[in-house]
Amino acid sequence: MVMMMRFRGTNGLSMNYYLVSCPFVEAVVKNVVNRALEDDPTLAAALLRMHFHDCFIQGCDGSVLIDSTKDNTAEKDSPANLSLRGYEIIDDIKEELERQCPGVVSCADILAMAARDAVFFAGGPVYEIPKGRKDGRRSKIEDTINLPSPTFNASELIRMFGQHGFSAQEMVALSGAHTLGVARCSSFKNRLSQADPTLDAEFAKTLSKTCGGGDSSEQPFDATRNDFDNLYYNALVRKSGVLTSDQTLYGSPRTKNIVNGYALNQAMFFFDFQQAMVKMSLLDVKDDDSEGEIKDMAKVTLSLFLMPKSSTVPPLIFSRKSEKIMEKMHRAFEKVKLVVRMEREEDEQQAAALEESNSFAFMDEFNRNCTLSTKQVSVFSSPTIDFRQIMVFFRLSSVWWLRKY
Ligand code: HEM
């Protein structure tokens, strides 16, 4: 299910924010995330959770990634964040992007894109997010008090999410992120000390058994910890939610019907989840230089993957070679060929206009459908370029593709 949302102009963010300054950003993020999750699918949960913990504290500004210093204990070292994982994936993405377009892409955007790609990798909905978040400078342990506690009841959750502008329905949909991943015993053992009428007796035994392994023992939220599906809600209906804050969603009359609805209708959950995720990804974004850091767009080095000098391999590796995508790529290349023809016929003005508009359309298409081989990316150089050079790249690519297909 693809959701197209237009956010041009919202908080200075836009879908094509990096189109010129870092045209392959989406492909690079997707590629690194996919590679990491192929090795360890449990990290999809980690990326999704990290984005949530970033956004709920001081907005989506990458502050969760900042390390503590001797004068400041950062968010990262709060007990609520100690079990966050997946930092190395964000580091790898950042490293790759710094090679291609230094100082351009914010960590906050990387987190948002990585979480989105993780959801899709795990079988969840695909959605687009606007980019252009800036990274914050503040990261303080005391701010993490604003993360929801696993012992919260529905009213407390509704209130806390409400403070961020979310409805009860959106809060329940976002909680569906617990379709991925695990909780450690320390997060749910409060439920085991006395009989809990909201907890299924058999499931209570499972939780107790898990806790037999100690505070760090892990309990999956549902039967399919690496698959994004609606089994989490079905577990709640069976009184088999792991955290108090999970099970309360079925216990409260304000949220019970929403849980029932998502348990019965996965498509409805996917739709509401992707909308709520886009909204969460826009929480208190910093979009001007006084608030956050991002390099002046006019000064950044534009990047481009050039064909390696001697190579028999294609410049791009496409992840999904479906007929439909190939057809679209061909159409884009056809337009490039038209530009070349116009130039030959010396209709330069018209050629320039077409060239520019098609550069954008092509890049959009590319970002949606393609993935880059990082091995190849590393042999490409990143010079300062202009649109004409982008077109040179397209032409080279088109020659390769047209020969092959
Ligand atoms: C509704 C309030 C929420 C509470 C109280 C809550 C609390 C928790 C807790 C306690 C854990 C387990 C941590 C541990 O034991 O190590 C956890 C895991 C997780 N949370 Fe939440 N969470 C909430 C909402 C969300 C939201 C909105 C998202 C994302 C959109 C999210 C994504 C995740 C994921 C994916 C995991 C599994 C992480 C892993 O396996 O590494 N949570 N959450």
- Between CA 226 and CA 235, with CA 232 as vertex, the angle to 5 degrees is 125
Residues near 387 by beta carbon (within 8 Å), at least 6 away in sequence: 355, 356, 359
Which of 146, 175, 189, 277 is the pocket-test mutation for ligand 1 (most atoms within 8 Å of CB)?
175
Ligand 1 contact via 32 beta carbon (within 6 Å): no
Of 68-77, 135-144, 184-193, 281-290, the least confident:
281-290
Higher pLDDT residue, 349 or 219? 219
Q: Looking at residue 195, what is its pLDDT?
A: 85
Task: Report the nearest-CA residue for atom 5 of ligand 1.
Answer: 150
The reply to whether 53 belongs to the active site is yes
Q: Which of 226, 261, 280 is the last residue of a domain?
A: 280
Ligand-binding annotation for 51, yes or no, is no
Task: Classify residue 161 as exposed, middle or buried by CB count within 10 Å of its CB (0-12, 13-18, 19+).
Answer: buried
- Ligand 1 atom with the shortest distance to the CA of 186: 15
Distance 186 CA to ligand 1 centre (A): 13
Q: Looking at residue 20, what is its pLDDT?
A: 87
Higher pLDDT residue, 51 or 308? 51
Report the alpha-carbon distance of residue 360 to residue 345 in Å, rounded. Answer: 23
Whether the per-residue pLDDT at 211 is higher than 80: the answer is: yes
Helix (H, G, I), strand (E, B) or coil at 14: strand
Ligand-binding annotation for 291, yes or no, is no
- Indicate the DSSP class of residue 238: T
The whole-chain average pLDDT of the chain stands at: 80
Say yes or no: 215 and 251 in one domain. yes
Say yes or no: 123 and 202 in one domain. no
Say yes or no: 8 and 130 in one domain. yes
- Angle at which helices 154-163 and 168-175 cross, to 10°: 100
Q: How many domains does the chain have?
A: 3
Q: Which of 91, 118, 144 is the last residue of a domain?
A: 144
State the CB neighbour count (10 A cutoff) for residue 268.
14
With residue 3 as reference, give the H or E element that holds it: strand 2-3
Helix (H, G, I), strand (E, B) or coil at 293: strand
Residues near 362 by beta carbon (within 8 Å), at least 6 away in sequence: 332, 335, 336, 394
Whether the per-residue pLDDT at 381 is higher than 50: the answer is: no
Q: Looking at residue 396, what is its pLDDT?
A: 57
User: Which of 75, 80, 108, 78 is CA-nearest to residue 93?
Assistant: 108
DSSP 185-205: HHHHGGGTSS--TTS-HHHHH
Whether the per-residue pLDDT at 286 is higher than 60: the answer is: yes
pLDDT tens profile 61-81:
999 999 999 999 999 999 999
Whether the per-residue pLDDT at 308 is higher than 90: the answer is: no
Q: Looking at residue 375, what is its pLDDT?
A: 31
Q: Is residue 315 one of the residues assigned to a domain?
A: no
pLDDT tens profile 323-379:
455 555 556 556 655 655 665 566 666 666 665 665 555 555 554 544 433 333 332
Higher pLDDT residue, 294 or 84? 84
Say yes or no: 114 and 201 in one domain. no
- First-to-last alpha carbon distance for the chain, in angstroms, is 29
Contact of 232 with 176, CB cutoff 8 Å? yes
Say yes or no: 27 and 139 in one domain. yes
- Indicate the DSSP class of residue 308: P
Higher pLDDT residue, 155 or 303? 155
Backbone φ and ψ of 3, nearest 5°: -115, 120
Ligand 1 contact via 107 beta carbon (within 6 Å): no
Whether the per-residue pLDDT at 390 is higher than 60: the answer is: no
User: What is the model's pTM?
Assistant: 0.76
Residues near 320 by beta carbon (within 8 Å), at least 6 away in sequence: 369
Q: Is residue 288 one of the residues assigned to a domain?
A: no
